[in-house]
């Protein structure tokens, strides 16, 4: 063996040294990153809905407070221009739309109230919310026996209901 040189054994089918892929750490983070993004989106959506609901409630409370003050002012009106003052306040009350229908209907059966005051407010609301005003007047007229002291007011409200074109709706509601 003196004449033979030592040769290194040749490896066949040997795999090259593996290099770690450069994307592997990022791919491992992808599920947790995606989960965090989804949670952030859901939290933003829920938070914005809650904030919107709170703002609506605050607006409702402010409206009720303002309507209560207007009703107190209507009740407290005195003097020669009392009816004109009350009509003006009823017009202001009608700006609250559907929410003002209930208080105006209650004023309509008050025997100490000039009937023109709530009628004016209800007529203004009926411009945009006719169905709701008709429903409220129909309900009131169907229960007129509960208000024996308000005969004059009921007759006037019945005329106003006809003027607004609500009698068909009132009859339809009464048939139910």
Q: Give the dihedral sign, CA 162/168/169/175.
A: positive
pLDDT at 39 (0 to 100)? 93
The token pair that represents 116 in the structure block: 């023109």
Helix residue ranges, H only, the chain = 24-76, 82-94, 101-108, 116-126, 130-142, 151-163, 167-175
User: What's the full length of the chain, in residues?
Assistant: 176
What is the pTM assigned to this prediction?
0.65
pLDDT at 101 (0 to 100)? 92
pLDDT at 116 (0 to 100)? 86
pLDDT at 23 (0 to 100)? 74
Distance CA 109, CA 139 (A): 13
Say if CB 154 and CB 144 are below 8 A apart: yes
Cα-based angle 107, 108, 114 (whole degrees, multiple of 5): 90
pLDDT at 129 (0 to 100)? 92
pLDDT at 14 (0 to 100)? 58
Q: Is 73 exposed, middle or buried (0-12, 13-18, 19+ CB in 10 A)?
A: middle
Distance CA 1, CA 35 (A): 69
The token pair that represents 123 in the structure block: 């007529």
Distance CA 18, CA 23 (A): 14
pLDDT at 170 (0 to 100)? 64
Distance CA 176, CA 30 (A): 61
Distance CA 116, CA 126 (A): 15
The token pair that represents 169 in the structure block: 């709706």
Q: What is the mean pLDDT of each run of 10 residues along the chain (176 residues)?
A: 64 63 76 91 92 93 92 87 90 92 88 85 92 89 84 86 79 53
């Amino acid at each position: 063996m003196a004449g033979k040189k030592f040769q290194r054994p040749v490896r066949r089918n040997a795999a090259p040294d593996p290099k770690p892929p450069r994307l592997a750490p990022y791919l491992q983070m992808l599920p947790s990153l995606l989960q965090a993004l989804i949670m952030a989106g859901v939290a933003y959506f829920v938070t914005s809905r809650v904030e919107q609901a709170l703002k609506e409630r605050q607006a409702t409370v402010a409206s009720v407070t303002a309507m209560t003050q207007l009703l107190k002012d209507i009740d407290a009106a005195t003097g020669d221009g009392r009816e004109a003052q009350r009509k003006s306040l009823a017009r202001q009350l009608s700006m609250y739309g559907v929410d003002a229908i209930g208080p105006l209907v209650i004023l309509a059966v008050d025997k100490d109230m000039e009937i023109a005051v709530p009628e004016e407010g209800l007529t203004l609301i009926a411009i945009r919310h006719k169905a709701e005003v008709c429903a409220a007047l129909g309900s009131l007229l169907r229960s007129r026996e509960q208000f024996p002291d308000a005969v004059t007011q009921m007759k006037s409200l019945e005329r106003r209901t006809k003027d607004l074109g609500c009698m068909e709706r009132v009859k339809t509601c009464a048939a139910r």
